[in-house]
Amino acid sequence: MATCARDIIQEPIVAEERARYDTPMRLICPSCQAPIPAASINVERDVAACAACGEAFVLSELVASGHEEITEIGSPPRGAWFRTGIDGWELGASTRHPIAFFLVPFLCVWSGFSLGGIYGSQIVKGEFNLGTSLFGIPFVIGTVFLGSAAVMAVVGRLVVTVVADDGTVFVGVGPVGWRRRFRWDEMERVEEEDSTTRSSGSSGRVIALIGKTKLRFGSMLTDSRRYFFIQVLRKMLQGTRKKAL
């Protein structure tokens, strides 16, 4: 995992790349435990170099293995939030994504030409053609799939709620969406994993909440929001363990 920092040509992190790590966290060197400053992180090349011991690491592996700390979970990246209550807390983020600027126009063109041409012509003529209608089913499925992704990329949200030890993961729009319940006291760790599926707006990485059950979510979060989720969940798990001792 580690290599010599001298073998890596450090390049400045442009604003767009730095924004991916615009979260209240810091990377910790796994070799000497010294903090790794932002200037020594190259997101584009997936490299983080430690100035203290001279070693360099694969950035994504550091994040996935938990070698970073949140310094202030009360300052989430834009589009994310963390709220505490008397008997629980809520961690959430918008799934709004720039891919919406492509998906929405594409969906309009796709559905307009495909569904309009296949079914619209039958409606106008007042005739029903079984073969043509069956041929259009894949286009209907594609429209539903793209439509769901487009809506999530515009107004979707991901929320993890824990009240006492009862937890819920919600992904959807408003009150409509996918819900999964779990026991918070049965959770042991949080990791970042590769997604088994790739969809429009998906980063290809997911959050894995692992214990007696395993929950995977967050594929449509931006990098900064996903990393914030991971760190808050890890911090809350640490707090739960301390209370149990």
The full DSSP string for 19-37 is: GGG-SSEEEE-TTT-PEEP
* The pLDDT of residue 244: 57
**Residue 14 confidence class, pLDDT cut points 50, 70, 90:** very low
* The pLDDT of residue 237: 87
> Which CATH code for domain 73-96+156-244?
2.30.29
| pLDDT average, residue stretch 186-212 | 78
CA distance 102 to 212: 40
- How many Cβ atoms sit within 10 Å of the Cβ of residue 5? 18
Pairwise pLDDT comparison (25 vs 27), residue with the higher score: 27
Report in angstroms the alpha-carbon separations of 239 from 92, 138, 226, 232, 234: 19, 49, 20, 10, 9
Pairwise pLDDT comparison (59 vs 173), residue with the higher score: 173
* The pLDDT of residue 19: 41
- Judge whether residue 32 has pLDDT over 80: no
- For 198, residues 6+ apart whose C-beta sits below 8 A from its C-beta are 204
* The pLDDT of residue 65: 60
Chain segment 43-77, per-residue pLDDT in tens: 778 788 888 888 888 877 776 665 555 555 667 88
Pairwise pLDDT comparison (196 vs 28), residue with the higher score: 28
Numbered ranges of CATH 2.30.29 in the chain: 73-96+156-244
Residues facing residue 172 across a β-bridge: 157, 177
- Judge whether residue 24 has pLDDT over 60: no
> Running DSSP on this structure, what letter comes out for residue 57?
E
Show the beta-strand stretches assigned E in the chain.
2-4, 25-28, 35-36, 41-42, 47-49, 55-58, 68-70, 80-84, 88-94, 157-163, 166-173, 176-183, 187-194, 205-211, 214-217
* The pLDDT of residue 147: 82
* The pLDDT of residue 138: 84
To which residue do tokens 């969809």 refer? 199
Give the chain's mean pLDDT. 78
Q: Residue type at 233? A: L
- Judge whether residue 21 has pLDDT over 50: no
Closest CA to 216 of 207, 227, 226, 225: 207
Give whichever of 132-141, 177-186, 225-234 has the largest mean pLDDT.
177-186
Chain segment 84-112, per-residue pLDDT in tens: 888 899 999 999 888 888 888 888 887 87
CA distance 45 to 93: 27
* The pLDDT of residue 238: 79
Q: Taking a C-beta distance cutoff of 8 angstroms, is the pair 103, 89 a contact?
A: no
CA distance 9 to 12: 10
